[in-house]
Amino acid sequence: MTAEGDHFVYVIRCADDTLYTGYTTDPERRVREHDADEGAKYTRGRTPVELVHLERFDSRSAAQTREYAIKQLTRAQKESLIDDSTVDFDHH
């Protein structure tokens, strides 16, 4: 069972410079899965990937609502979101 606050929306930058947005309960595991071509079909063959944005939520529904909203953004809006991100992703 997932603990409260363990719902995440993430954006990864693929090797071909495309962006992929997803939902997970474990960002580090999910990035490893994408890198091993075990993630989303979209990211297979586009590795390695880099985690460039991460947001935490208290519920799955809130995270998935945000995931949908990010997926509706233009590329420029997603890049702005990434540029405004202040989280250190070097730990993954």
The candidate with the shortest Cα–Cα distance to 19, out of 56, 64, 49, 55, is 49
- Say whether 57 sits in a helix, a strand or coil: strand
CA–CA separation, 9 and 63 (whole Å): 6
Write the pLDDT tens digit of every residue in 12-35.
999 999 999 999 999 999 999 999
Write the pLDDT tens digit of every residue in 37-65.
998 999 999 999 999 999 999 999 999 99
- pTM, whole model, 2 decimals? 0.87
Class for domain 7-84, per CATH?
alpha beta
With cut-offs at 50, 70 and 90, classify the pLDDT of residue 1: very low
Q: Where are the domains of the chain?
A: 7-84
